[in-house]
Chains A and B, each alone.
Chain A
Amino acid sequence: MENIETKLREEAKRLLLEKKVDVIIGYEKGTLPLTATPCFVTTPEEADNLVWNHLCTQNPVKFVHDLITQHKNAQKRVKPEDRKKKVIGVVARGCATRSLIIQLQERQYERADVYIIGVPCEGYVDGKALKSAIGGVDITEGSIDGDQIKMKTSDGDKAVALKDVLAASCRTCRFNNPIISDTMVGSPAAAMNPDAEYNEVKEFEGKTVEERWAYYSKEMEKCIRCNACRQACPSCYCPTCFAEQSQPQWVGIGEDKTDTQVFQLMRLYHMVGRCVDCGSCVAVCPMGVDLRKFLKKIDKDGWELFGNRAGSSMDDMPPLGKYDEHHDKEDFVFNP
């Protein structure tokens, strides 16, 4: 990991010096112990702030879309011949490259607008799991030492095995190495355990319809409608979200139980063929809503019904944008 970090900084410096990119979106050390936070690097000196470790959580592709949209809007009033091109560099692991592929397939920007610095990934730490593993006490200092996380806490020194607190989406990750990249830093990471990826979904499918509804309503009752999941999601980039539209108003904005259920249902359902299981929504949720249980089902359906894994290849069409008359099932069609 250290080695990758050094190489990443060198690469970032080179790209900025050669003016290949205008900004690099990566991660820097967070203000709280054992955190990393997304950062924007615009000068070669700042490149030394970049880090790459098990604490880099959020999907940076959200910011790629934000920056490009912002730049496009800023150029609207500039004469075509005076328009400047801006290239966004992004430090991307497997799931981030999948998000890039989705945004590219959805024609959000051109491939030349982004420069992808691919990094191998061995999973990130789930902050909530870490907190509960040490009994909810405050961490005052911490470091990752090999496969152990060592911490000083308000309750004395503690150590936790890294593999015990990895995020659920990382443990069963199928694409932990970048799918597309302009340059690769470090050698490919070892495979995770993708065979187990649908175990939770299969178990949930086995329950009765009332049990499933009870779980859904229980989870959604935790939701406070802060929209953090939407803000963190690289596939949620609509200029006006359905949740805020008023003509028509699709869903109420209050804390009503049903409104929350409908909001979540609609946001989740918009992820068909688009959720890459990066886990950003789960990581940012302040209430710990189990969103992954439902998103993974959408991923499973995409694979089982249409043979598509979101963003797994540049050549694939989005699954909802095509139709295969030989393989698509008919069993959902009602024939009296």
Chain B
Amino acid sequence: MARRKFATLKSFLNYIGVEGDRTIFTWVSASEGDRFAQVIKGVTAKVRALGPANKLVKKFG
């Protein structure tokens, strides 16, 4: 079940120190264009507030 997986993933990532706000999960239907725009606006606003992610990022070179 996707929802249960996301509930635990969000909680677990938060536990190991990746801010819970970075794991965002929701449902959008293909017919909900407006809602989709709202969701993306919300996500970008949340991520912008947190700043760049530097955890679990692999650096080359």
Contact = CB atoms under 8 A, between A and B. Distances in A.
Nearest to B37: A336
A216 interface: yes
Nearest to B40: A336
A53 interface: no
Contact of B17 (A210, A262, A334): A210
Contacts of B24: 334
A272 B17 contact: no
Contacts of A332: 6-7, 10-11, 23, 25
Interface string B24-61: 11110000000100110111000000000001111100
Given A209-B14, A212-B16, A262-B56, A269 B9 contact: yes
A336 B39 contact: yes
Tell me the interface secondary structure of chain B in the complex. helix
A12 to B, nearest CB: 40
8 contacts: A213-B16, A265-B13, A268-B12, A272-B12, A297-B12, A298-B8, A302-B8, A332-B11
B41 A336 contact: yes
Given A269-B9, A322-B1, A334-B42, A205 B15 contact: yes
Q: Which of A216, A294, A329 has the most CB of B within 10 A?
A: A216
A306 interface: yes
Given A265-B56, A323-B3, A335-B26, A216 B8 contact: no
Contacts, number: 94
Interface residues of B, number: 34
Interface stretch (A139-147, A230-238, A251-259): A251-259
A213 B12 contact: no
Interface of B: 1, 3-19, 23-27, 35, 38-39, 41-43, 55-59
Contacts of A335: 26
B15 A259 contact: no
Contacts of A333: 3, 25-27
A261 B4 contact: no
A328 B43 CA distance: 23
A305 B4 CA distance: 9
Q: Which of B11, B19, B24 has the most CB of A within 10 A?
A: B11
A323 to B, nearest CB: 5
B27 to A, nearest CB: 8
Contact of B16 (A216, A321, A329): A216
Contacts of A261: 56
Contacts of B9: 269
Contacts of B12: 268-269, 272, 294, 297-298, 301
B56 A258 contact: yes
Interface string A298-336: 100110011000000000000111110000110011111
Nearest to A204: B15
